[in-house]
Every structure is written in structure tokens, then in C-alpha cells.
């Protein structure tokens, strides 16, 4: 029960009307409007009132502090939760950090599509309703060798649509070694169940033979599905048929071969010291009838799911009711088209950030790291350069890495430094290893370097000195 003292203090608490008359409140009204300002003032007063009654607050704060509390509440409410960050982890396609950053051309294309009306579903030549499937797809056959293509909102949707449109109520054969789970608990068996297709597992975890597929084919079989080992490796005593062998078997039985390629690689990764990644064109050339892949992994574009392959199968997917539920929006299509244009012009290595990072040599990264080190030392911060490894990430090329040069800081409390850097205006995300805080220049965008160096000076100087 409130005591007499708390009741007296409650009477000292100003009302909303009084606070509205304060000069400082006029600033809030101009910035946030009357409705939100009133809500903030009421929230602040109720918080103080509750604190007085419960004994957590011993005195009524002066009006300026009450208004400041309301200001803090408004700023917290309206600060976007989705914010740019500086990725200094060395993970190029970092799923938790938004995967692939977009090229300048892709960003400009998205901005142009967002600024005005567009011909998203309008045929400018015929002067009548058109199809959004016409956008961002004209280059895909050229780049992949496929007959046709379509774009949906992510690769999980592409796989779901493919299985639902082509295999509902029938059986799909897949190797036990390919029953993958990716981030967020997305599992191939679960997607199969949602599609209405029946999963038929063949072979074992480590070895599946062509004869295993052949024996499983019957009159209920709708397709053979191959899921690329995009985020794991099976090593040792292993075996599985090639895509070409499976395509020949499927076509002998008049079945389609469906390939969940996943990463969206259009370029060969082996020249950069990475394991060879089966590319989308490889899948088409091997005889796959449909290939599904992501737009925001190794392709380096916006989040999208892409299907390429036989025109008749693409048409069935486009005409299925689920296609509307998973369709891509105009911003995705604009950004994807711009990204694909880089590949058509043979400029992906210099224009697409993901491939710029993959292609960076150790000498280039070391030069950047040395420049950072000089800046830190000039500001009284002790650091050193150490050898390290960058990874592609995003469920791509598991177990392989790229050599890099890391900035290593040795603060008293690495977790505290990491927390302070995450609290910067543009949060900095590094990694902690062996008691040191590490930063990898490979994944820091050039336009963010100045912010990173200033944040390091702001946050590290107190803990790390000469």
C-alpha cells in the first residue's frame, strides 16, 4: 500500500498539460507530432508514478528530466531495428548480417524502381497488362544455358514451388546423404511434406549408387531430386552418382531431374583457392531439367529464389497458385536484373561485392590491414597483424577458406569491447578468438573504413594503450 509520503510526492507530479506548455516539449511536438508526444509524456509520467508507489523512485524528477525521458522513449521507439552494420568477421556471405551487399548499380536500380511507378505488370509495347515474370529473367537463359526462368522471393520458396507444381501427390526420389537442413530449421523432408509430394529415400548417408535410384523408380515417381551439399561435407568412404548420370536415368524413364543448387554460383570458385562449386550452368549442361538457387549468396544480388530450366516446367510453376504467394517484388527484380547485368558484361569480379571480396589477394588485404594498424598506433592503441582465414559463408563451400591478414586487439575484456563496438552508430561486428578481438579487412566495405577506424578509436582507447 502507498504511504503518506508517496501520496504527497504523487501530488507533486506534473500533469501532461503542464508538460505540454514547457519550451522543451515544443521541440518534441515539432519532431514527432502531438499524438506520439502525448503518448511519450503519459508513458513517462506513468513510469514515475509506478516507481513512487513501489518505492523504486524516491523523488519526483524535475520537468526537464521528465521531458528528456519522454525524448529517450520516442527515440528508442522510432529508431529502425534494421540497421547497417560493419562486417569485420571475415565471413563474406554472412546470413545473420544480411548476406550479400549489393553493387552500386543494383542499389541504383532499386532506388529507381522505388521512386516512381514502373511497368512491373504492364506491357509497354502492347499497352496492356503484362507479367512480372518478364523482368530480371531475360538474362538468365543467356547466363545459364537454360530455356526459361522465373524468380520468386527466396530459394526455399523456389524449391517448394518446384515440388508442389510438379510432384504433388506423387513420389520424389532423393539420396539419404542429401536430406539437408539449412539455417532456421529449413529441412528438405519438411519442404517435401508441405509440397504434398512423398519422399523416397535411397542409398545411405555416405554412399548412394545409381542402381539405388533405378530400383526406386515406379509408376508413382514424379521426379528425381538432387540437393547440393551446400553447408556440409561428407568425407571418407563416399560415393554418389553425377548429375549427368542421374539425368540420363531420369530421362530414360521420362522423369525430370530437379537440382537444388542453392548457392547461385555462376562463376568457377577454384581459381581463387576455393573448392570447386558446381555452378548453375554446370547443372543445366549436365541435363538437369530445373535448377533452383539463391539470388543473395554467391550470385551476390538481393534475396531471391531463381528457377531455370525447361520452358514447359517453368510454365507449370508460373501457372501454379502458389506462385503468387511467393512472387518477387519490384525492388528484388530491379536489383537482380542489375546484378545479372554485371555477369553479362564480364564485370562480376570488379562490380559485385561478394566476388570482389573473394578475389582480393592476400597482398591487397595485408596492405589494408597495415594501413589500419598505422592509424590505430597513431591514436595510442596497441594492435598487431596476424595470419588468419576468411570464409565464404551463407551455407556455401563448407570447410574451405581464404587466407587473410587480421587486425588483432588484446583488450582486458574482449566481450566488453565487442559490446561497445556493437553499440556504435554504425555497429561493428568482429570476432573473438583466443582472448583477442579480431577484425578481417576482407569483408569491410571501402566506404565504411573511416567509420570503422573511428569506432575503434572511440571504443578501444580506454582498454588498449601503449
Banded model confidence at residue 194, pLDDT cuts 50, 70, 90 = confident
268: Cβ–Cβ under 8 A, 6 or more apart, which residues? 276, 277, 279
Q: Given this model, what pLDDT does residue 34 score?
A: 94
Of residues 137 and 69, the one with the higher pLDDT is: 69
pLDDT at 150 over 90: yes
Q: Which of 13-17, 30-34, 134-138, 231-235 has the highest mean pLDDT?
A: 30-34
Domains of the chain: 4-78 (no CATH), 86-93+355-460 (3.90.1150.110), 104-351 (3.40.640.10)
Q: What average pLDDT does the chain have? A: 91
pLDDT at 234 over 70: no
Q: Given this model, what pLDDT does residue 2 score?
A: 52
Q: What order of strands is seen across the sheet that includes strand 436-439? A: 91-93, 384-393, 402-409, 436-439, 431-433
Q: Given this model, what pLDDT does residue 177 score?
A: 84
Q: Roughly how many angstroms between the first and final C-alpha of the chain, as a whole number?
A: 57
CB 61 within 8 A of CB 45: no
- Write out pLDDT tens, residues 326-353: 999 999 999 999 999 999 999 999 999 9
313 vs 318: CA distance, rounded Å: 9
171 vs 196: CA distance, rounded Å: 9
* Residue 175 main-chain phi, psi, to 5 deg: -75, 145
Q: Given this model, what pLDDT does residue 368 score?
A: 96
Say which range, 90-99, 104-113, 193-202, 428-437, has the weakest mean pLDDT.
193-202
Q: Given this model, what pLDDT does residue 184 score?
A: 58
What percentage of the chain carries pLDDT values higher than 90? 76
Residue 384: DSSP 8-state: E
What does the angle CA 18 – CA 23 – CA 26 come to, to the nearest 5 degrees? 90
What percentage of the chain carries pLDDT values higher than 70? 93
- Write out pLDDT tens, residues 63-82: 999 999 999 999 999 989 99
Give the HSE-up count for residue 350: Cα atoms under 13 Å, Cβ half-sphere.
Answer: 4
Which residue do the cell numbers 573511416 mark? 450
Q: With CA atoms as reference, report the closest residue to 230 among 193, 278, 172.
A: 278
- Work out the average pLDDT over 356-367: 97
Q: Is 104 exposed, middle or buried (0-12, 13-18, 19+ CB in 10 A)?
A: exposed
C-alpha dihedral sign at 82, 84, 88, 90 = positive
Q: Given this model, what pLDDT does residue 190 score?
A: 80
CB 113 within 8 A of CB 330: yes
pLDDT at 254 over 70: yes
* Model-wide pTM > 0.95: no
C-alpha dihedral sign at 305, 307, 313, 319 = positive
293 vs 92: CA distance, rounded Å: 18
Report the phi/psi class of residue 252: left, alpha or beta, with left for phi > 0 and alpha for psi in -120 to 50: alpha
Give the HSE-up count for residue 40: Cα atoms under 13 Å, Cβ half-sphere.
Answer: 25
233 vs 399: CA distance, rounded Å: 7
381 vs 448: CA distance, rounded Å: 20
Of residues 213 and 463, the one with the higher pLDDT is: 213
Q: Given this model, what pLDDT does residue 309 score?
A: 98
- Work out the average pLDDT over 127-134: 92
- Work out the average pLDDT over 413-425: 94
Q: Given this model, what pLDDT does residue 291 score?
A: 98
Amino acid at each position: 500500500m502507498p504511504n503518506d509520503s508517496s501520496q504527497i510526492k504523487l501530488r507533486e507530479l506534473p500533469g501532461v498539460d503542464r508538460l505540454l506548455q514547457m519550451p522543451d516539449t515544443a521541440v518534441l511536438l515539432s519532431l514527432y507530432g502531438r499524438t506520439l508526444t502525448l503518448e511519450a509524456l503519459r508513458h513517462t509520467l506513468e513510469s514515475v508514478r509506478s516507481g513512487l508507489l513501489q518505492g523504486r523512485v524516491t523523488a519526483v524528477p524535475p520537468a526537464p528530466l521528465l521531458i528528456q525521458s519522454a525524448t529517450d522513449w520516442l527515440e528508442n521507439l522510432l529508431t529502425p531495428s534494421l540497421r547497417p552494420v560493419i562486417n569485420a568477421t571475415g565471413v563474406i556471405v554472412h546470413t545473420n548480417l544480411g548476406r550479400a551487399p549489393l553493387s552500386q548499380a543494383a542499389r541504383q536500380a532499386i532506388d529507381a524502381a522505388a521512386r516512381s511507378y514502373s511497368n512491373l505488370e504492364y506491357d509497354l509495347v502492347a499497352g496492356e497488362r503484362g507479367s512480372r515474370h518478364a523482368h530480371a529473367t531475360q538474362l538468365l537463359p543467356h547466363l545459364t544455358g537454360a530455356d526459361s526462368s522465373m524468380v520468386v522471393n527466396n530459394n526455399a520458396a523456389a524449391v517448394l514451388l518446384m515440388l508442389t507444381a510438379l510432384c504433388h501427390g506423387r513420389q520424389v526420389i532423393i539420396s539419404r546423404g542429401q536430406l539437408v537442413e539449412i539455417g532456421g530449421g529449413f529441412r528438405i523432408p519438411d519442404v517435401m511434406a508441405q509440397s504434398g509430394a512423398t519422399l523416397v529415400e535411397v542409398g545411405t548417408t555416405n554412399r548412394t549408387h545409381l542402381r539405388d535410384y533405378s530400383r526406386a523408380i515406379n509408376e508413382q515417381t514424379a521426379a528425381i531430386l538432387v540437393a547440393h551439399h551446400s553447408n556440409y561435407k561428407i568425407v571418407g568412404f563416399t560415393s554418389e552418382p553425377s548429375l549427368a548420370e542421374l539425368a540420363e536415368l531420369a530421362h530414360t524413364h521420362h522423369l525430370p531431374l530437379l537440382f537444388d543448387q542453392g548457392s547461385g554460383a555462376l562463376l568457377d570458385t577454384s581459381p581463387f583457392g576455393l573448392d570447386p562449386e558446381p555452378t548453375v550452368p554446370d547443372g543445366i549442361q549436365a541435363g538437369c531439367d530445373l535448377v533452383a538457387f539463391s539470388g543473395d549468396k554467391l550470385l551476390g544480388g538481393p534475396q531471391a529464389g531463381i528457377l531455370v530450366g525447361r520452358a514447359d516446367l517453368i510454365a507449370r510453376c508460373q501457372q501454379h497458385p502458389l506462385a503468387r504467394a511467393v512472387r518477387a517484388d519490384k525492388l528484388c527484380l530491379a536489383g537482380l536484373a542489375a546484378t545479372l547485368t554485371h555477369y553479362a558484361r564480364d564485370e562480376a569480379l570488379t562490380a559485385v561485392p561478394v566476388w570482389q571480396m573473394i578475389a582480393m589477394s592476400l597482398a591487397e588485404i595485408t596492405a589494408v590491414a597495415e594501413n589500419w594498424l598505422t592509424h590505430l598506433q597513431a591514436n595510442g592503441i596497441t594492435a598487431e597483424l596476424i595470419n588468419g582465414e576468411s570464409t565464404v559463408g551463407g551455407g556455401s563451400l563448407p570447410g574451405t577458406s581464404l587466407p587473410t591478414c587480421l587486425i588483432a586487439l588484446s583488450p582486458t575484456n574482449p566481450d566488453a569491447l565487442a559490446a561497445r563496438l556493437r553499440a556504435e552508430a554504425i555497429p561493428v561486428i568482429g570476432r573473438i578468438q583466443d582472448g583477442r578481438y579480431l577484425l578481417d579487412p576482407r569483408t569491410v566495405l571501402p566506404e565504411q573504413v573511416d567509420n570503422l577506424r573511428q569506432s575503434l578509436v572511440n571504443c578501444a582507447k580506454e582498454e588498449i594503450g601503449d
